[in-house]
Amino acid sequence: MTSSDVARHTVLQSLGGLKSCPSPQPGKEDKVDDSLRCLSINGRVGFENLPDQLVNRSIQQGFCFNILCVGETGIGKSTLIDTLFNTNFNDLESSHFHPNVRLKAQTYELQESSVRLKLTIVNTVGFGDQINKEESYQPIVDYIDAQFEAYLQEELKIKRSLFNYHDSRIHACLYFISPTGHSLKTLDLLTMKSLDSKVNIIPVIAKADTISKTELQKFKLKLMSELVSNGVQIYQFPTDDESISKINSSMNGQLPFAVVGSMEEVKLGNKMVKARQYPWGIVQVENETHCDFVKLREMLICTNMEDLREQTHTRHYELYRRCKLEEMGFKDVGPENKPVSLQEAYEIKRHEFYGERQRKEEEMKQMFVQRVKEKESILKEAERELQAKFEHLKRLHQEERMKLEEKRRYLEEEINAFAKKKAASELLQNQPLNASGPSVKKDKDRKKFRILVL
């Protein structure tokens, strides 16, 4: 082992050793930062197709997107999702009489040319239907946290397979606001406030065909100002990349989108368009002057799907992870300001936990033994008591018997005496009747006999 100890590797970042790289164009030598030099290449190397290699791998793996729809029953969530993805997800109408809010998740597989998308739609069933709505938003928050927790557990496992893991974290939350035209409901404000740090919220105004244009403008302004004044952070489309910053920033100004959903087709001119037919006219879903549906589809799917997933992973999930780990007592920096590795902290905690457990086991064992002893002594006591009672009863029984024996003997003696007397009187009767004296005597005897018998 000694040679390897002596020959410990030394990594030299030999940057200063290189003189300026010879380049055909002198202008190309710019330092990116202190530790990197920019090399210029003299021919075609061929890595410009690296993004294509990355895309190919992603195509092979498939994509995954999870949308959470929060809104009252009957506000048009399922219809909007059907319209967004241009398919019939066959979601049944839910009743208005649920006692509490439940979340229902369904997964679908969509394929468009070479892209496979695993889409999960999570619906809130029974939202806003209860008389007491205090507990309405808690199931939603719990669900989102549960998905983060599942991912965190997978990430912390020793033998894990993250590339195989079906990511169920919510990437976008479509919040459906009812088109009252006035302002946000308290329930909406409360729910959005509790969700804004956990998920990307995209508010939409549902059933927008019930609002006129002027009302809609005022409504949008009112909504945005309320959200801002209450500190609710909704999702802003990213504006840092030049190719999409212009369109994203203009869309940011038109939030929240007023949408209409419909899968029914109506004949308009010579085309069939998705629309809702009223006696006073036809509201076309894909007409930009009628509603903002097209903008929502653009922004949600075509332009920012990847950014939504990234925000979920790098911002919301990291926040959750940090809070959870800090809650469990892990820190990055130890008491003397030295970096503490998660490993050691975890090991220490594990040992503490095992120590606790052993101690508790001992305690429980002791208690158990104690209890057994107590029970035994109680039972012995009872046994002794029973024994004493038995003895007592036996004695009583004995006495009773003796008394009865006495009485019987006495009775027998009397019977004997009487029998003797009877025999004597019969003898007397058999003698001829001399005087009534014996009859008087007989009467007397008879009386005596009667008295005796009674």
Q: Which CB atom, from 160 or from 409, has the smaller least distance to other proteins? A: 160
Give the tokens for residue 208: 């927008």
- In sequence order, what E strands does 224-370 have? 257-258, 265-268, 271-278, 281-284
3-state SS class at 79: helix
Q: Which CB atom, from 88 or from 186, has the smaller least distance to other proteins? A: 88
State the minimum distance, in angstroms, from the CB of residue 340 to other proteins.
Answer: 10
| Residue 298: partners with Cβ closer than 8 Å, 6 or more residues away | 251
Q: Which CB atom, from 18 or from 427, has the smaller least distance to other proteins? A: 18
The whole-angstrom separation of Cα 273 and Cα 208 is: 18
Q: Which CB atom, from 105 or from 189, has the smaller least distance to other proteins? A: 105
Q: Count other Cβ atoms within 10 Å, centred on residue 376.
A: 10
The whole-angstrom separation of Cα 414 and Cα 404 is: 15
Q: Which CB atom, from 93 or from 112, has the smaller least distance to other proteins? A: 112
Look at residues 194, 202, 188, 191 and name the one whose alpha carbon lies nearest to residue 234. 202
Answer whether 345's CB lies under 8 Å from 330's CB.
yes
State the minimum distance, in angstroms, from the CB of residue 5 to other proteins.
Answer: 7
Look at residues 19, 123, 25, 128 and name the one whose alpha carbon lies nearest to residue 67. 123
State the minimum distance, in angstroms, from the CB of residue 132 to other proteins.
Answer: 32
| Residue showing tokens 């100004």 | 253
Look at residues 306, 63, 57 and name the one whose alpha carbon lies nearest to residue 166. 63
Give the tokens for residue 60: 């092979």
C-alpha 367 chain-centroid distance: 36
Q: Tell me, what DSSP letter sits at residue 328?
A: T
State the minimum distance, in angstroms, from the CB of residue 360 to other proteins.
Answer: 14
State the minimum distance, in angstroms, from the CB of residue 235 to other proteins.
Answer: 16
State the minimum distance, in angstroms, from the CB of residue 9 to other proteins.
Answer: 4
| Residue showing tokens 């990594």 | 11
Q: Which CB atom, from 144 or from 223, has the smaller least distance to other proteins? A: 144
State the minimum distance, in angstroms, from the CB of residue 282 to other proteins.
Answer: 19
State the minimum distance, in angstroms, from the CB of residue 183 to other proteins.
Answer: 33
Answer whether 117's CB lies under 8 Å from 86's CB.
no
Q: Which CB atom, from 19 or from 450, has the smaller least distance to other proteins? A: 19
State the minimum distance, in angstroms, from the CB of residue 64 to other proteins.
Answer: 9
Q: Which CB atom, from 266 or from 301, has the smaller least distance to other proteins? A: 301
Give me the residues paired with residue 66 across strands: 120
Q: Which CB atom, from 22 or from 279, has the smaller least distance to other proteins? A: 22
The whole-angstrom separation of Cα 222 and Cα 225 is: 5
State the minimum distance, in angstroms, from the CB of residue 4 to other proteins.
Answer: 4
Name the CA radius of gyration of the chain, rounded: 49
| Residue showing tokens 């992603």 | 58
| Residue 272: partners with Cβ closer than 8 Å, 6 or more residues away | 265, 266
Q: Which CB atom, from 160 or from 392, has the smaller least distance to other proteins? A: 160
Answer whether 245's CB lies under 8 Å from 277's CB.
no
Look at residues 187, 70, 55 and name the one whose alpha carbon lies nearest to residue 126. 70
State the minimum distance, in angstroms, from the CB of residue 146 to other proteins.
Answer: 13
Q: Which CB atom, from 326 or from 405, has the smaller least distance to other proteins? A: 326
C-alpha 380 chain-centroid distance: 51
Give the tokens for residue 354: 């095992």
